[in-house]
Amino acid sequence: MSVTLPIPGFPGRILAVTLPAGPGGTPVTVGGQNALPLLREGEHPNAPAVGMEVPTGTMELPPALAAVIGPFAGDPAAMARKCAGDWGARFLFLSLAGCHPDGGGQSVPFGAAIVREVLSATPVPVIVGGCGDEEVDARLFPAVAEAAFRPVFLSYAEEKNHRLVAGAALAYGHGVVSWSPIDINMAKQMNLLLADLGFPPDRVLIDPLTGGLGYGMEYTFTIIERIRLAGLSGDAALARPVLCHLGDAWKAREATDASEGSWGDVDLRGRRWEEATGLACLAAGADLLVCRHPSNVARLSEAAWR
Amino acid sequence: MHEPMFTSCLRGAGTVIGLARMALEAAAYRRGKEAPLAYPDTAYELPVVFGLTDIRVSTLADAGKVLDLAETLVRSFASAENALDAGAATLLAADVIGAISHENGNPFMPPAMGFIPDSILRKLGIYLVDGSVPGVAVVIGKATDPAVAAAMVRQFQEIGLLVFIAGDVVAQLDAQGVKLGEDFKTFPLGPLPAVIHAVNFAVRAGLTFGGIGRGQGAAMLSYLANRVKAFVCALGPLDDVALAIAAGAMKAGLTVLSDQPVPEIPGKLLSRPAGGAMVQAGMEARGIKVKMVKVPIPIAFGPAFEGERIRKADTHIEFGGGRSVAYELVRSAPPEEVHDREIVVDGPDLRGLPKGSVLPLGIVVRVAGARMQHDFESVLERRIHRIVNYGEGTMHVAQRDTTWIRVSTEAVEKGFSLADLGLMLYAKLHADFENIVDKVSVSITTRLEDVEAGLAGARAAYAERDARARTLTDDAVSEFYSCTLCQSFAPNHVCIVSPERLGLCGAINWLDGKAGFEITPTGPNQPVQKGGVRDAVKGSFDGVNEFVRENSRNTVTEMNLYSIMESPMTSCGCFECVLAIIPEANGVMAVNREFTGQETPCGMGFSTLAGSVGGGVQTPGFMGVGKHYLLSKKFLGAEGGLPRVVWMPREMKEYLGPLLRERAAEIGMPDLVDQIADETVAVTPDALVEHLVKVGHPALKLPPLL
């Protein structure tokens, strides 16, 4: 006797988005699927991609990161080359946190110069993150948009600043990461607001705000899942690839505290903490992961099989 | 009356096309037909041609095709439509002339800059999209009084507009010492025909920032009309060519203001004296608003101070609250009657008054806006409460003619005045209701006779508003509003807010929903068409069901607006009170959020009940509601209404007080309120039933709930 398994189909499909690469580089395309992640059914033309963060400014690195990333402090271009080369990152997330008054206070022109340097150093796709200070970012995004001599993504546009970030991206042909604070309605509204500005939908990624394991990851998980289900059910404003930045995993005490001997090796703990956060995001439906520890590029890429 | 002007436009268009032909032939003679033609530093060939037509221009010969097309647009009959098309033809021809003249770069003498390259467009365009550059002013012609023109341009610069200048006025402004150049967002283009570089700038903005492709003429015109908030100030006499260019600007949706006695075309062509009146008319016609970034008052101002209480000892002066006559009123008015940012204080102000003074107070806020409705007056008026509380050292209690405002000694010492209070209201109403309010003026009076006179008018307005509210019933309107604000934590919860059932948080009524939609069309308040009425008593509507199904992502397929037993509304977690059935009593109990007791007839206190009700699921027999829903004619219509209520905490009964009695009397049960038990009477079902039997509560005679 044969049994036909009921396989649910979805009417919608996630929009495919390409992160362009420089000459000689490989662009990253994600999205395009019409089914939930890690399942056999449906089409998954593009597997999730794992990238790495390239930090700037003053860094207080937890033990697990200090050993591997520490030597690159102050040289983002060298780190970019290492990430894209030996470490296998398919794209880079260049964080200009160094321009934050509390993160090094680098000037806006300096931040823009770093962008040019990194773009020259490697042809892999790049997402450029602002510093998080509203006033500085208002000057930083236009400067970055102008400085970036090949298309990048600007991260991130939120409700408050979306006109500025989208304007800067439109002016020079970049994409944007549309951010919402673990809020599906805001995620949708952001994409409607961007559409209202005439922003091309195939240059938008959703960042739903990623909480680290034990520090909000479950909220992120359910929001990603709902964004994905809504998108697959036909809500075009949510049928976009999702980006998860795993940096929050490194804020957990469990990932960084060396003084707790009974918790085991702090280096392994840190790496596993980020990895576990990333695996959960993949299971929820994330299309792009940004990690900080090089070893997790391989581990998460292996898990990101469809 | 307009006809001679239309004729001039047609003639002007012919002249410009003729000039373009001559320039083109001369260039072709010199350089050959296949010689390249392009502006320097742009990706958009001849931008006006690129944006409005599908002709690709890379050579002089291609430009000839543009002029052929332009000629077909100039028809002989003098009508408005033909004049506008002739205007479009003029722009196409002028772009050809402009490109030919830029063969060796900028052909004009400094400070004139000629064609504005893409690099500047990209930089400045960001701020147009962002809104920090609120609009574009184009100044052309020759000023009768150069000083007035200079003052106008300085005003534009102060507001932060992007300014383009063409014609003799360039030299006039330069001589007047007006700062020109990219740093001042003020671009002197060249002689009058160079105004085309303002047009091709705007067109490139649409191509770069509006997602518009080559030759999408209709989309481009719509972008220019709706997104680029630009107007033209034409100074001095208008000849045929100037009129043809003006017609082109109007075709692109711009408003043209002339200081000459031209026949007006509302919204398109206005006659205003150069100076302040022209600036104001231009900004109003294009809906350009200036945002106040920081409210210039001597005290701190923001949500952080909302909860601040000002005690008697710290109070320097107070208004209302039973101690004096006071009222506040928001009125909408036609735009011409409201002078934006006019703040008038009449009578004694705060400074110099002794500590402990009490003064009468009348606050009248007048607002105007294309999308303002009378119905929104109450929504804005209620916001006064929050805005005044935002000040550090100002406190606001109650509303309308029961308002009570205190100002602290510290605030008065810092120099706070009633004009500052007006400024707070002005700035915040603009910011919070950006989409519906274009102009706000505030008048404050502290003179007793004026306050009393104003109060009579205000009471009439309140009465009128209340009468209107009574006509707003669920049966009378065709749409309700949704609120999905809480979906961030209750994923599938959808509030349906109707005139007779406010949101369960008590914070959003139907008018708020309506205003909320106008303010943020993509936001959580969306109109919900009632659609077919399936059951008027239960409150079952096709449109509501459809909306709830879609927005709960298929988890709630049916929702009855007036029932607790059958497909009730879901609850998020913000409800003001919970209704729960008491089967033994054949009724429902209500318990409010403030009630801290753990003992109620259903065996659970508020927090325990809330835990089992919330989260966006339907729980027949349990439901979160706003307190005022108990007073509604639609309250539990399916179950018999208010007579079902058998228990509520004393505090809640007192809170609803006279309104509850009024409603009870209305349904012919004046004793009902006293028959409803509270925690002092019964906290177990048995004791409750005993009490109900004793007082003869009507719930016992209603049909069984289960």
CA distance A185 to chain B (A): 7
Q: What is the per-residue DSSP string for B23-80?
A: HHHHHHHHH-TTSB---TT-SSSSHHHHHH-----SBHHHHHHHHHHHHHH--SS--H
User: Residue holding tokens 């090796």?
Assistant: A265
Handedness of CA B508, B514, B520, B523 (dihedral sign): positive
Residue B126 to residue A142, Cβ atoms within 8 A: yes
pLDDT digits (tens, 9 = 90+) for B180-229: 999 899 999 999 999 999 999 999 999 999 889 999 999 999 999 988 89
Give me the residues of B, 102-121, that contact A with CB < 8 A.
121
Token pair of B648, please?
A: 């509520």
pLDDT at B1: 56
Number of domains in chain B: 4
Token pair of B82, please?
A: 């033909």
Rg (chain B; Cα; Å): 33
Q: Which of B485, B522, B553 sits opposite A233 (nearest CB)?
A: B553
User: Residue holding tokens 């037993």?
Assistant: B565
Q: What is the per-residue DSSP string for B476-487?
A: T-SEEEEE-GGG
B349 and B276 co-located in one domain: no
Would you call B466 helix, strand, or coil by DSSP?
Answer: helix
Handedness of CA B171, B173, B175, B181 (dihedral sign): negative
Q: Is residue B298 domain-resident?
A: no
- Domain boundary (B285, B316, B346) is at B285
Q: Is residue B630 domain-resident?
A: yes
Q: Is residue B520 domain-resident?
A: yes
The conformational region for residue B45 under phi > 0 = left, psi -120 to 50 = alpha, else beta, is left
B320 and B409 co-located in one domain: yes
Pick from B442, B450, B488, B494: nearest CA to B617: B494
**Where in B80-160 does DSSP place strands (E)?**
136-141
User: Residue holding tokens 């039933």?
Assistant: B689
Q: Is residue B441 domain-resident?
A: yes
Put simply, whether B213 touches A (Cβ < 8 Å) is no
Q: Is residue B576 domain-resident?
A: yes
B75 and B216 co-located in one domain: no
B278 and B423 co-located in one domain: no
Judge whether B22 and B64 are in contact, CB under 8 Å.
no
B64-to-B17, B32, B195, B616 alpha-carbon distances in Å = 11, 13, 21, 66
B544 and B650 co-located in one domain: yes
Q: Rounded to 5 degrees, what angle do the CA atoms B362, B364, B370 make?
A: 175
Residue A146 to residue B125, Cβ atoms within 8 A: no
- Domain boundary (B422, B448, B469) is at B469
Which residues of chain B does A142 touch, with a Cβ-Cβ cutoff of 8 Å? 123, 126
Q: Is residue B197 domain-resident?
A: yes
Residue A163 to residue B125, Cβ atoms within 8 A: no
Average pLDDT for residues B455-469, to the nearest whole number? 89
CA distance B236 to chain A (A): 36
pLDDT digits (tens, 9 = 90+) for B94-143: 999 999 999 999 999 989 999 999 999 999 999 888 888 889 999 999 99
Judge whether A244 and A290 are in contact, CB under 8 Å.
yes
User: Residue holding tokens 């005690």?
Assistant: B311
Judge whether B559 and B545 are in contact, CB under 8 Å.
yes
Q: Tens of pLDDT along chain A (306 residues)? A: 788 877 778 889 999 999 999 999 999 999 999 999 988 889 999 999 999 999 999 888 998 999 999 999 899 999 999 999 999 999 999 999 999 999 889 999 999 999 999 999 999 999 999 999 999 999 999 999 999 999 999 999 999 899 999 999 999 999 999 999 998 888 988 998 899 888 999 999 999 999 999 999 999 999 999 999 989 988 889 999 999 999 999 999 999 998 888 999 999 999 999 999 999 999 999 999 999 999 999 999 999 876
Put simply, whether B128 touches A (Cβ < 8 Å) is yes
pLDDT at B488: 66
pLDDT at A273: 96
| CATH assignment at residue B391 | 3.30.1650.10
| CATH assignment at residue B56 | 1.10.8.190
Residue A142 to residue B553, Cβ atoms within 8 A: no
The answer, yes or no, to whether residue B305 has pLDDT greater than 90, is no
- C-alpha A161/C-alpha A137 separation (Å) is 9
The answer, yes or no, to whether residue B614 has pLDDT greater than 90, is no
Q: Select from B116, B122, B126, B208 the residue whose CB has the most chain A CBs within 10 Å, as the one to mutate to test that interface.
A: B126
Q: Which of B130, B210, B524 sits opposite A164 (nearest CB)?
A: B130
B445 and B411 co-located in one domain: yes
Residue B572 binned pLDDT confidence (cut-offs 50, 70, 90)? confident
User: Residue holding tokens 């840190």?
Assistant: A270
B82 and B191 co-located in one domain: no
Taking the domain A48-303, which CATH number applies?
Answer: 3.20.20.20
Which residues of chain B does A196 touch, with a Cβ-Cβ cutoff of 8 Å? 522
CA distance A183 to chain B (A): 5
Q: Is residue B311 domain-resident?
A: yes
- C-alpha B134/C-alpha B415 separation (Å) is 32
- Domain boundary (B409, B442, B469) is at B469
- C-alpha A246/C-alpha B402 separation (Å) is 53
Handedness of CA B525, B531, B537, B539 (dihedral sign): negative
B130 and B236 co-located in one domain: yes
B38-to-B100, B323, B377 alpha-carbon distances in Å = 8, 76, 55
Alpha helices in B227-353 (DSSP H): 240-251, 276-285
pLDDT at B397: 87
What single letter denotes the amino acid at residue B251?
A: K
Q: Could you tell me which chain B residue has the CA closest to the CA of A144?
A: B123
B518 and B625 co-located in one domain: yes
Q: Rounded to 5 degrees, what angle do the CA atoms B179, B183, B185 make?
A: 80
pLDDT at A2: 84
pLDDT at B249: 93
Q: Could you tell me which chain B residue has the CA closest to the CA of A193?
A: B522
pLDDT at A222: 92
Position with higher pLDDT, B253 vs B542 = B542
B543 and B674 co-located in one domain: yes
β-strand B527-529 against B533-535: which pairing, if any? unpaired
Position with higher pLDDT, B427 vs B468 = B427
Token pair of B368, please?
A: 């105007």
The H or E element that residue B577 is part of is strand B577-582
Pick from B705, B700, B701: nearest CA to B677: B700
Alpha helices in B621-671 (DSSP H): 650-666
Rg (chain A; Cα; Å): 19
Q: Which domain holds residue B353?
A: 303-469
Pick from B108, B70, B78: nearest CA to B195: B108
The conformational region for residue B141 under phi > 0 = left, psi -120 to 50 = alpha, else beta, is left
CA distance B374 to chain A (A): 28
Please, which residues have CB within 8 angstroms of residue B281's CB and are 6 or more apart in sequence?
B257, B270, B272
Q: Is residue B110 domain-resident?
A: no
pLDDT at B467: 84
B455 and B536 co-located in one domain: no
B462-to-A41, B37, B386, B455, B592 alpha-carbon distances in Å = 62, 68, 20, 10, 29
Residue A237: CA atoms inside 13 Å, Cβ hemisphere, count? 15
Torsion angle in degrees (nearest 10) through CA of B527, B531, B534, B540: 0
The ipTM assigned to this model is 0.81
Give me the residues of A, 196-225, that contact B with CB < 8 A.
196-200, 222
B244 and B142 co-located in one domain: yes
3-state secondary structure B334-387: CHHHCCCCCEEEECCCCCCCCCCEEECEEEEEEEECCCCCHHHHHHHHHHHHHH
Put simply, whether A193 touches B (Cβ < 8 Å) is yes
The whole-chain average pLDDT of chain B stands at: 92
Residue B513: CA atoms inside 13 Å, Cβ hemisphere, count? 26
What single letter denotes the amino acid at residue B540?
A: S
Which residues of chain A does B495 touch, with a Cβ-Cβ cutoff of 8 Å? none
Judge whether B657 and B601 are in contact, CB under 8 Å.
no
Q: Which residues on neighbouring strands pair with residue B331, listed in sequence order? A: B366
Q: Could you tell me which chain B residue has the CA closest to the CA of A181?
A: B488
Pick from A184, A182, A242: nearest CA to A216: A182
- C-alpha A244/C-alpha A155 separation (Å) is 12
CA distance A199 to chain B (A): 7
Question: Please, which contacts does B512-517 make with residues 24 or more away whose CB atoms are closer than 8 Å?
Answer: B512/B379, B513/B480, B513/B481, B513/B482, B513/B483, B514/B373, B514/B375, B514/B376, B514/B481, B515/B375, B515/B376, B515/B379, B515/B433, B515/B436, B516/B481, B516/B483, B517/B481
The conformational region for residue B253 under phi > 0 = left, psi -120 to 50 = alpha, else beta, is left
